[in-house]
Amino acid sequence: MQALSSGWLYHPIQPYLALHIPDGFLNLPVIAVTWILAIALIAISLNRVQADYQEKAVPLMGVCAAFIFAAQMINFPIPGGTSGHLLGGTLAGALLGPWAGTLVMTVVFIVQAVVFQDGGLTVLGANIFNMGLIGTFAGYYLYKAIRFAIGRNKLSGMAVGAAVAAWASVMIAAIICAIQLAVSGTVPLAVAIGAMATWHVLIGIGEAAITVVALVFIWRTRPDMFYDPPRRAVSPRNRIGVGS
């Protein structure tokens, strides 16, 4: 996710205010804690996927990873001369559940960091934790709560839940990132949160729009691909995994 590229207030600090944190922007304690949390949650996710998912979920994970990776290459402009791109945590969670979705997002961010230098290697744990783990888990469970409250089998419930969750997941990741930068002494907390929140409000709208468009298309064509499919689409043959 890109952050700021113009504006008299944000220009001096804009290199710090991106969700893909570069090397050298976090101190050692923050790097260590985020790596530990990321590795622990990835290990738990691997165990859950191996225990709960059928083999036919693996191709869907690959397709989902490829789609999210390709979609992240497309930037959308927002006012102020900056841009954003899809994170995809809520999208992955809605289709694969939080555990498999977390693994997909982890792979995507590793490829981005290693191949495209989008985010640093030493802070890869923080980037995975912020965008992959928080984005996927927070996005999925908020999406699920809203969707089931409105109606599990209703397109409107799915769309509203996905939109709110996608936007919220971006905002949560941005705030956590700002806190990490402030704790590391990179930028003052008030400045970091103010700048990150201001611009990611808009970037979150783009995230919500892309997520909803993709999920509405899948709902209308292959509703059985959802982790929590509408009941009319559920059958012993097409359910890819165990719900949470």
Instruction: Give residue 66's pLDDT.
Output: 85
Sign of CA dihedral 231, 234, 235, 236: negative
Q: In terms of pLDDT, which residue wins out, 124 or 9?
A: 124
The contacts of residue 85 (CB under 8 Å, 6+ apart) are 1, 2, 71, 72, 73, 74, 75, 76, 206
Highest mean pLDDT (candidates 64-78, 117-131, 229-243): 117-131
Q: In terms of pLDDT, which residue wins out, 196 or 3?
A: 196
Instruction: Give residue 141's pLDDT.
Output: 95
Instruction: Give residue 54's pLDDT.
Output: 65
Query: Over the stretch 191-240, which tens digit does the pLDDT of each residue have?
Result: 888 878 888 888 889 889 999 999 999 999 999 889 999 987 554 444 44
Q: Categorize the per-residue pLDDT at 23 as very low, low, confident or very high, splitting at 50, 70 and 90.
A: confident
Q: What is the average per-residue pLDDT within 185-192?
A: 86
**Residue 77 is inside which H or E element, if any?**
strand 76-78
Query: First vs last Cα of the chain: how many Å apart?
Result: 29
Q: Categorize the per-residue pLDDT at 19 as very low, low, confident or very high, splitting at 50, 70 and 90.
A: low
Instruction: Give residue 212's pLDDT.
Output: 96
As a whole number, the mean pLDDT across the chain is 82
Distance of CA 124 to the CA centre of its chain: 14
- Extract long-range pairs of 181-188: CB within 8 Å, 24+ residues apart: 181/16, 181/17, 181/21, 181/25, 181/26, 183/27, 183/30, 184/25, 184/26, 184/27, 184/30, 185/27, 186/16, 186/25, 186/26, 187/13, 187/16, 187/17
Instruction: Give residue 3's pLDDT.
Output: 43
* Ranges 74-88, 104-118, 143-157: which has the least confidence: 74-88
pTM for this structure? 0.81
Radius of gyration of the chain (CA): 18
Q: How far is CA 208 from CA 116, 145, 153, 185, 200, in A?
A: 25, 16, 20, 32, 12
